[in-house]
Structure 1
Amino acid sequence: MDVHVTPVKPCPAILISAPASGQGKTTVTAALAYYHRRLGREVRVFKTGPDFIDPQILAFASGHPAYQLDLWMMGEAHCRELLYRAAGEADLILIEGVMGLYDGDSSSADLAQTLAVPVAAVIDAHGMAQTFAAVAYGLAYYRPGLAFAGVIANKVGSAGHANLLAEALPDDMPLLAAMRGDASVGLPERHLGLHQAGEIADLDQRLARAADLLSDCRLPDPVAFAEVTSEPPPRLLAGRTIAVARDAAFSFLYPANLDCLQALGATLTFFSPLADCDLPAADAIYLPGGYPELHLAELAGNQAMKQALRQHHQAGKPIYAECGGFLYLLDSLADRDGQAAEIVGLLPGQARMQTQLANLGMHSLELEHGEIRGHSFHFSTLQTSLAPHTQSTTRRHHGQAEAFYRVGRLQASYLHLYFPFNPCQAAALFA
Structure 2
Amino acid sequence: MSHCAALLISAPSSGSGKTSVTAAIARAERRRGRRVRVFKTGPDYLDPMVLQRASGHPVYQLDLFMGGLAHCRALLAEAARDADLILVEGVMGLFDGKPSSADLAAAFGLPVLAVIDASGMAQTFAALATGLARYRSDIRVCGVVANRVGSSAHADMVAEGLPPELPLAAAIQRRAELSLPERHLGLVQALELPGLDAQLDAWADAWEAGRREGFRFEPVAFEAPATEQLPLLLAGRRIAVAQDACFSFIYPANLDCLRQLGAQVRLFSPLAGEPLPECDALWLPGGYPELHGEALRRHPSFFAELAAHLRQNKPLLAECGGMLVLLESLTTLEGQVLPMAGLLPGQAQMQPRLAALGLQAIQWPECEHGQALRGHSFHYSTMGTPLEAIAQASNPNGGRTAEPLYALGNLRASYLHHYFHSQPLTIARFLAGQGTASDTQAC
Per the normalisation by structure 1, the TM-score is: 0.96
Q: Which amino acid aligns with 1:413?
A: S
Worse overlay, 410-419 or 163-172: 163-172
Q: Which amino acid aligns with 2:44?
A: D
Look up the match of 2:438: none
Query: Structure 1's 81 and 128: CA in aligned 2 closer, same or farther, altered over 3 A?
Result: same
Q: Distance in 2 between matches of 1:114 and 1:277?
A: 44
Answer yes or no: is 1:198 the counterpart of 2:199. no
Look up the match of 2:413: 412
Any residues of structure 2 matched to 1:351-370 within 5 Å, and which? 351-367=348-364, 368-370=366-368
Deviation at residue 356 of structure 1 after TM alignment = 1.4
| 2:36 and 2:84 in contact (8 A); partners too | yes
| 1:242 and 1:285 in contact (8 A); partners too | yes
Answer yes or no: is 1:257 the counterpart of 2:254. yes
| 1:277 and 1:304 in contact (8 A); partners too | no
| 1:97 and 1:108 in contact (8 A); partners too | yes
- Extract unaligned runs of 5+ from structure 2: 433-443
Any residues of structure 2 matched to 1:44-55 within 5 Å, and which? 44-55=37-48
Look up the match of 1:245: 242
| 1:391 and 1:402 in contact (8 A); partners too | yes
Worse overlay, 32-41 or 120-129: 120-129
Helix, strand or coil for the counterpart of 1:73? coil
Answer yes or no: is 1:401 the counterpart of 2:399. no
Per the normalisation by structure 2, the TM-score is: 0.94
Q: Which amino acid aligns with 1:89?
A: D
**Structure with the largest fraction of strand:** 1
Q: Deviations over 1:271-320 (max 9, x none)?
A: 12222252111111110000111112112333511001101110111111
| 2:358 and 2:399 in contact (8 A); partners too | no
Q: Distance in 2 between matches of 1:393 and 1:281?
A: 35
Q: Deviations over 1:90-114 (max 9, x none)?
A: 0000000000111111111111111
How many percent identity over aligned positions?
55
Helix, strand or coil for the counterpart of 1:321? strand
Answer yes or no: is 1:185 the counterpart of 2:178. yes
Helix, strand or coil for the counterpart of 1:285? strand
Q: Distance in 2 between matches of 1:179 and 1:138?
A: 21
Look up the match of 2:7: 14
Look up the match of 1:300: 297
Look up the match of 2:125: 132
Q: Which amino acid aligns with 1:424?
A: L
Look up the match of 1:373: 374
Q: Distance in 2 between matches of 1:21 and 1:145?
A: 22
Answer yes or no: is 1:274 the counterpart of 2:271. yes
Look up the match of 1:425: 426
- Extract unaligned runs of 5+ from structure 1: 1-7
Q: Distance in 2 between matches of 1:386 and 1:116?
A: 47
Helix, strand or coil for the counterpart of 1:72? coil
Q: Which amino acid aligns with 2:264?
A: T
Answer yes or no: is 1:174 the counterpart of 2:167. yes
Q: Which amino acid aligns with 2:106?
A: Q
Helix, strand or coil for the counterpart of 2:360? strand
Q: Distance in 2 between matches of 1:27 and 1:71?
A: 24
Counting matched residue pairs gives 424
Alignment match of 1:91 (pick from 58, 81, 84) = 84
| 2:113 and 2:142 in contact (8 A); partners too | yes
Helix, strand or coil for the counterpart of 1:184? helix
Worse overlay, 365-374 or 36-45: 365-374
| 2:28 and 2:205 in contact (8 A); partners too | yes
Q: Deviations over 1:318-366 (max 9, x none)?
A: 1111000011111111111121111111100000100111111111111
Deviation at residue 152 of structure 1 after TM alignment = 0.7
Q: Distance in 1 between matches of 2:276 and 2:401?
A: 35
Q: Distance in 2 between matches of 1:396 and 1:354?
A: 25
